Every structure is written in C-alpha cells, then in structure tokens.
C-alpha cells in the first residue's frame, strides 16, 4: 500500500507491458496505464481489467500478474481466471499470484502455495484487548499518557488534519532506520496523494494541548480493518502516542464489527516488537503462484519468483538492514550539520 507530483516516475526495478489504452475503463484483456504511488513516489503501472477487477502487470526477470488492490479485494473466481489465462493469447504473464485474506487461513486451492506472514490482532472487545491481549507495560503507558492529557478521537480528512500530517511527516527524513517516503512533501501534495482512498478509511488522530501529534488512517477491507497509515510526532515520543492510537483503533473495530485489525506484513525488526506488545500476532496467509509459461515454471521451481533478496539467509538480510540504517543515520547527521 505502498503508496503524484506532476512528474511521472517509473520504478527502476520493473519494466512494463506496452500501453494499449490509457483508459481505466478499458475493456477486458486490454493493457492500460494506471496512476499510483510506489514507495511514496508517483508512478504509472501497467494494468488490465478482468471481470470487473483491476490487475497489475509487471516484468522483472519474470512477468507477473496480481490483483492491484489485493489487501482490499479477493479474486472473484480464481479457478475460472486461471483457466482463461492459460487459453488467452493477448497477454501471457509468466506467473499469476493471488492470496487468501483473513479470516481464510487454511488453503482452499491446489495451486503451488507458500505462506505470507501478516501482523493481525484478533478483536473481540476493547476491554478484552486491554486486560488480556497487551503487555502490562503498554497498559501503563496508555494510562500515563491519558493522565497527561493526550486525547485520541475520530477525525475527518480536512485541511486541519492534513496540516497536522504535513507537520509530522516533515519532522525527520529517517524513520525506523529507513528513508521516510513522505518527508519533504508539501501540504498540497500530501492532501492530493492521501485523498485517494478516504472513502474507505476512518481518520483517528491524537492531540496534546490542541496539537495533532499522531494519526491512523484505518482502512475498511471488508472482513477486517487495516492500519493504512500510522505515525506519531517524534517531538512527543514520550507520550506513547502509537499505543493510544492502536487502542482507539481497537475500539473502532469493535464498534464496526471487524474481527481483526491488520498491521500489514510481519517483519522481524523493532516494529514487530511494538506489534507484539500491542497484541498483534504473526499469521501465515496462503499465497498461490500459478505458472502460465515454461519460464514461469522454471522460476517457480528455482525459488526465484520472490526475488533474489528472498534467497539470502536471514542473518545476511539483517546485517544488510543494520548497515543501511547506520549509513542513513550518518547521512542524516551529516546533512543536519551542514
């Protein structure tokens, strides 16, 4: 979800099919360009409409087709679609991939299946979450912040909310050891980019002495809710703002009947420890890969379909992440001293 200035930037890691149409209402099986954000930057991706759903087409070492908004939609009829893809001659990606969404954790299809770990919080009631699903340290932090006057409430996507977002986004270029995608963006850019999906999101904001110090854009994914954007002010890091935001999100989920709150993918880093303390669990969701060409079969057999990075041992990946974090921090300090 990972998320347009007026310039078009194409991700360097992907090549795209030739555009046959630029109309998002293009007929089925005709490729067109669709505006989106990739790692916070405006981009155009090649898409195709199939049975009323938009699928993204990408080509790296192997071409792949997937539902463009798969966190929010299910493939309507995977068996029928796979049959059509195998017969179709207009476009022929090497691989088709799709996954099951919560609460369907047991595999339902016989295609090649792997598990993709997400962070999900089972929801019953806010009281049950507060008393039994979170660590005592989190409970104490929430109580302390509430006593200090931090208020968390549902908000609306208006200029005041966007001004608060803009101020928080521009506090630091590095967050959690990574370059922060939205640093350096002005009010108008943020307002435009984040307005795309407000119809399916609920705004939750934290305030301290009248100043917005944190926010969640809580997405409605049908059977569960998603923390589409959660961030808090570094100037108020002592307020445990993100814990308060999650607490309010759980309350909203209970009121709206969501049985899970998703914090996107699970990763073994400092963020996963925060998720764990707040009651999120690592849940493996079935992801299927269907080869449609001989090349697709070979890549799947060799384990190359997830990219070369996935082939590295976890200790090597962790070492590279740590090195990247140190380099970004050194670069940030150097720029701050100029």
pTM of the model: 0.84
On whether residue 81 sits in a domain, the answer given is: no
- Summarised one tens digit per residue, pLDDT across range 257-295 is 999 999 999 987 778 899 999 999 999 999 999 999 999
- Summarised one tens digit per residue, pLDDT across range 146-163 is 999 999 999 999 999 999
On whether residue 94 sits in a domain, the answer given is: no
Question: What does the pLDDT read at residue 33?
Answer: 92
Question: What does the pLDDT read at residue 308?
Answer: 63
- Summarised one tens digit per residue, pLDDT across range 48-93 is 999 999 999 987 789 999 999 999 999 999 999 999 999 988 888 9
- Summarised one tens digit per residue, pLDDT across range 86-113 is 998 888 899 999 999 999 999 999 999 9
Of all residues in the chain, what percent carry a pLDDT higher than 70? 83
Q: What is the DSSP letter of 27?
A: P
Does position 204 have pLDDT exceeding 90, yes or no?
Answer: yes
The domain tally of the chain equals 1
How many Å apart are CA 168 and CA 172, to the nearest integer? 8
On whether residue 239 sits in a domain, the answer given is: yes
On whether residue 77 sits in a domain, the answer given is: no
Pick the more confident residue, 193 or 334.
193
Q: Which two tokens stand for residue 13?
A: 């890691």
Question: SS3 for 19?
Answer: coil
Domain that holds residue 204: 120-282
What is the CATH number for 214? Answer: 3.40.630.30
On whether residue 99 sits in a domain, the answer given is: no
On whether residue 55 sits in a domain, the answer given is: no
Q: Which two tokens stand for residue 211?
A: 């100043």
Does position 187 have pLDDT exceeding 80, yes or no?
Answer: yes
On whether residue 185 sits in a domain, the answer given is: yes
- Summarised one tens digit per residue, pLDDT across range 320-332 is 666 666 665 566 5
Nearest to 228 by CA among 270, 278, 194, 275: 194
């Amino acid at each position: 979800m990972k998320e347009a200035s007026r310039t078009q930037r194409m991700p360097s890691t992907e090549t795209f099919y030739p555009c046959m149409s630029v109309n998002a209402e293009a007929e089925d099986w005709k490729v067109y360009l669709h505006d989106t954000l990739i790692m916070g930057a405006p981009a155009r991706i090649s898409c195709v409409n199939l049975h009323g759903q938009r699928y993204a087409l990408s080509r790296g070492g192997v071409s792949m087709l997937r539902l463009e908004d798969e966190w929010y939609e299910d493939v309507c009829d995977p068996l029928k679609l796979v049959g059509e893809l195998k017969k179709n001659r207009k476009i022929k990606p090497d691989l088709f991939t799709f996954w099951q969404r919560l609460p369907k954790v047991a595999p339902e299809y016989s295609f090649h299946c792997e598990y993709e770990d997400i962070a999900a919080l089972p929801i019953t009631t806010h009281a049950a979450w507060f008393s039994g699903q979170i660590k005592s340290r989190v409970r104490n932090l929430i109580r302390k912040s509430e006593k200090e006057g931090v208020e968390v409430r549902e908000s609306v996507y208006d200029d005041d909310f966007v001004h608060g977002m803009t101020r928080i986004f521009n506090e630091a270029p590095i967050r959690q050891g990574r370059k922060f995608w939205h640093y350096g963006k002005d009010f108008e850019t943020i307002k435009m980019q984040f307005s795309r999906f407000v119809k399916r999101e609920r705004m939750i904001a934290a305030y301290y002495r009248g100043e917005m110090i944190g926010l969640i854009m809580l997405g409605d994914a049908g059977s569960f809710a998603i923390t589409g954007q959660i961030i808090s002010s570094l100037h108020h890091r002592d307020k445990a703002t993100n814990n308060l935001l999650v607490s309010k999100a759980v309350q909203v989920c209970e009121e709206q009947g969501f049985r899970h709150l998703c914090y996107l993918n699970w990763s073994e880093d400092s963020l996963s420890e925060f998720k764990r303390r707040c009651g999120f669990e690592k849940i493996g969701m079935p992801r299927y890969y269907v080869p449609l060409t001989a090349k697709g079969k070979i890549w799947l057999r060799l384990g190359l379909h997830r990219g070369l990075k996935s082939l590295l041992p976890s200790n090597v990946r962790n070492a590279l992440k740590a090195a990247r974090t140190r380099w970004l921090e050194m670069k940030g300090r150097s720029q701050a001293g100029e």
